[in-house]
Structure 1
Amino acid sequence: MGEVKSDIEIARTAIKKPIYEIGARLGIPPEDLVPYGHDKAKVSAGFIARQREKKNGRLILVTAINPTPAGEGKTTTTVGLGDGLNRIGKKAVVCIREASLGPCFGVKGGAAGGGYSQVVPMEDINLHFTGDFHAITSAHNLLAALIDNHIYWGNAEGIDVRRIAWRRVMDMNDRALRHIVGSLGGVANGFPRETGFDITVASEVMAILCLSRDLKDLEARLGNIIVGYRRDRTPVFARDLKADGAMAVLLKDALQPNLVQTLENNPAFVHGGPFANIAHGCNSVMATTTALKLADYVVTEAGFGADLGAEKFFDIKCRKAGLKPDVAVVVATVRAMKMNGGVKKEDLGSENVEAVRKGCANLGRHVLNVKKFGVPAIVAINHFATDTQAEIQAVKDYVATLGAEAVLCRHWAQGSGGIEDLAHKVVELAEGGHAQFSPLYPDDMPLFQKIETIATEIYHAGEVIADKQVRDQLHAWEAQGYGNLPVCIAKTQYSFSTDPNLRGAPTGHTVPVREVRLSAGAGFVVVITGEIMTMPGLPSVPSSERIFLNDDGFIEGLF
């Protein structure tokens, strides 16, 4: 066996087609593509508007078990399945999220797939791409600046400085900025107050961009942002500060989906990027709904495990956009099953069928949870060279007891040729008409009950605890007319519980709600549980230490 190339080496040797050729395959004329170089482009708003009356293709969600240090390969499988569907003669498009700079330079590295199932140009997608995240950061911070400026010049809206809800953002992990005091230095700098930064992917502006249907909807949602409260507790909206128009101007181009290609020259939309642990974890509605008009099959992913990403995809994105998914693919690896079964990372190379069987409980929980939404599930076993036949068979046998099927996929090493079996099975399930999609809870359920429903039905928790202050806040929002919003739970991605070290499929645990935030523009209530942070920190050895330009001017170390 020869030396395995790194993802970035594979991506660098890709033979890319001009982006106009990729667009032509979807029926997008050159004049409706706004090119960013030769290999990426935005799709014009006019073209998107003209597709509205077309019939939708079928929607496939790729989700996964809870992530482990062993690696699962959800994006890799999403890209691989898109290529696989094209290989068997279906017109398929991949829809994934853009990468945040925070994890690129922090722990995770790049986010454009891997091996021979990647979207390219990988370096651009992982770094500045088409500038969408910078536009979101700028629009968010424009509003923050306008709030402090409004107060400085007399505070005509009567904003209570102690009740400003709008923090600032930046697209980097920086724990030093979580809690800060601003406006120090005397009268000329305004009124000192406590504030802080979140990471851009946690911004309500990110969520708004990803849930907006068009520019008009975007501007209306931006206007609905609650920036703070007056002394009488009435909300102050972004439109009260006349911020919505200027914010929309900054986001005009960012709202248009980005078209790129896979290594096999199949079309891919990469657009939007909220995290699934602290935000709603799905690519943009604009990209997904556009792709559904242009292809027979759209393969999209939701972040982290199905307890976070898939639940938010179903309960927030599908509810808001009127989407009806046909199939859900749950990605798992033999290695991750072993870790869930108690095996340490350094021992994963040794066969341990018993640990695989024990660890399958985590996979089983996710498969059964997905079925609660009325969506048929199939398991993709993302193959690693160290997997043994007995271990693979153990996963297949276990999944069969759930009334589902597990299919071995070798797309990382073989590209579309290694995932044909899954592509055929997905088509069979989708065309079988088995999907009876329905969100987990109705709109009119009280907010706290929505939190409890997700905690008990999806996390299998015993109870949800929250201070009186949190419950009172939820009741107040219900009284103000926000009770029909879905909830977006911020929780650790590593466990069904709020304890990141509790692997497997725990039951009866407690979910503590620490804080709730109203995202009135995006249209959901953010529920912060456990120790989850909306501004991550960097690890002791950040990925950035391994990223550099080599003598030929190429990037090294980016995944």
Structure 2
Amino acid sequence: AVLLKDAMSPNLVQTLENNPAFVHGGPFANIAHGCNSVVATQTALKLADYVVTEAGFGADLGAEKFFDIKCRAAGLKPRAAVIVATIRALRFHGGAAKDEVNTADVAKVKAGLANLERHIQNVAKFGVKAVVAINHFPTDTEEEIALVQERCAALGTEAVLARGFAEGGKGMTDLAEAVLRVADSGESTFHPLYELEMSVEGKIETIAREIYRADRVVYGSDAQVALRRIKSLGLEGLPVCMAKTQYSFSDDPTLLGAPTGFKVTVKDIEIAAGAGFVIPILGKMMRMPGLPAVPAAEGMDIDAEGRISGLS
């Protein structure tokens, strides 16, 4: 009750550089839809000329769900997308071991670029033009950065160095200007990936084929039972919210880069009728990360007068 008392109201906070921001919701994009609330976004759109909102993890998770679930439900039409990339992650997807990701390696960055290219391609499938933000780390070399920018330019996408961690807003000015150019260009013609009239299997397989690049989808026995239940309840018109590892385009977290020729396995499908979607569960997933065995909320209370106890 304490947590839910004002749960429907977005939290207005101030950034370190005195900019307003709404913090409201924030579910993980690997197990949920990965976006903040519709009310926060719609409120922000009434108060500012440009609104930036986050969708968690990669374009195969947060972006897909933002476009297919949130934008569709709220009638939003995004005019630009920012794909955040790091040289370290590209080294990793190019074959560097975890203890090598801070070591400059142009060859591994070149190999890892296939992963970034696929994210750019995925965003384009929704009719939205992207800008790549290269989140700068001290171990990045000029040669590696130039390689990323050249490859992105060949795809018609601008890649801009983002130094926000080290320099604050001053280090993000170039990125902001690039995003404004795209947003104001009118090049984006947003559309969802699939139609709600499709079957649940059709929606799952469209995402698996078009976004993950899987060859086929296999349904476990629990998933097959769930599909029959969804049909019997008349819920086939709901969008799907895939629960999948964030470490790979596939459902195997060890399959890095831009894999092809794989299958994805739907173990089960949960119905979240109140939220307005169904949740196909791909692979082994921790569905509720981040909470201790006994959450602090269990020691909180609120009385009839609205007085809260147990916060300290």
Aligned with 1:380: secondary structure? strand
**Map of 1:260 onto structure 2:** 13
**Map of 1:164 onto structure 2:** none
| RMSD (Å), alpha carbons | 1.7
1:442-499 CA-to-partner distances (Å, cap 9, x unmatched) read: 0100001100000110000111100355234323322422111000110011110111
Which structure 1 segments of 5+ residues have no match? 1-130, 136-250, 540-559
Q: How does the TM-score come out when normalised to structure 1?
A: 0.51
CA–CA distance in structure 2, aligned partners of residues 455 and 263 of structure 1: 40
**Map of 1:293 onto structure 2:** 46
Equivalent residues in 2 for 1:83-482 (5 A)? 135=3, 251=4, 253-482=6-235
CA–CA distance in structure 1, aligned partners of residues 232 and 99 of structure 2: 54
CA–CA distance in structure 2, aligned partners of residues 522 and 271 of structure 1: 16
- In 2 relative to 1, CA 469–411 (structure 1 residues): closer, same or farther, beyond 3 Å? closer
CA–CA distance in structure 2, aligned partners of residues 491 and 473 of structure 1: 18
**Map of 1:100 onto structure 2:** none
- 4+ runs deviating over 4 angstroms: none
Contact 2:226 2:268 in 1 (8 A): no
1:206-238 CA-to-partner distances (Å, cap 9, x unmatched) read: xxxxxxxxxxxxxxxxxxxxxxxxxxxxxxxxx
What is the CA distance between 1:253 and its match in structure 2?
A: 1.4
CA–CA distance in structure 2, aligned partners of residues 353 and 327 of structure 1: 29
- Pick the structure with more strand per residue: 1
Aligned with 2:204: secondary structure? helix
CA–CA distance in structure 2, aligned partners of residues 291 and 537 of structure 1: 28
CA–CA distance in structure 2, aligned partners of residues 466 and 343 of structure 1: 33
One-letter amino acid of the counterpart of residue 97, structure 2? K
**Map of 2:283 onto structure 1:** 530
Contact 1:448 1:471 in 2 (8 A): no
What is the CA distance between 1:350 and its match in structure 2?
A: 3.0
Aligned with 1:280: secondary structure? coil
**Map of 2:307 onto structure 1:** none
Identity over aligned residues, as a percent? 61
CA–CA distance in structure 2, aligned partners of residues 310 and 355 of structure 1: 26
What is the CA distance between 1:394 and its match in structure 2?
A: 0.7
CA–CA distance in structure 2, aligned partners of residues 443 and 303 of structure 1: 23
Which structure 2 segments of 5+ residues have no match? 293-312
What is the CA distance between 1:537 and its match in structure 2?
A: 7.7
**Map of 2:237 onto structure 1:** 484
1:418-448 CA-to-partner distances (Å, cap 9, x unmatched) read: 1111111111111111111111000100001
Contact 1:332 1:379 in 2 (8 A): yes
Contact 1:357 1:394 in 2 (8 A): yes
Equivalent residues in 2 for 1:493-512 (5 A)? 493-512=246-265
CA–CA distance in structure 1, aligned partners of residues 129 and 268 of structure 2: 34
CA–CA distance in structure 2, aligned partners of residues 535 and 486 of structure 1: 21
Paired residues in the alignment total: 292
CA–CA distance in structure 1, aligned partners of residues 83 and 103 of structure 2: 24
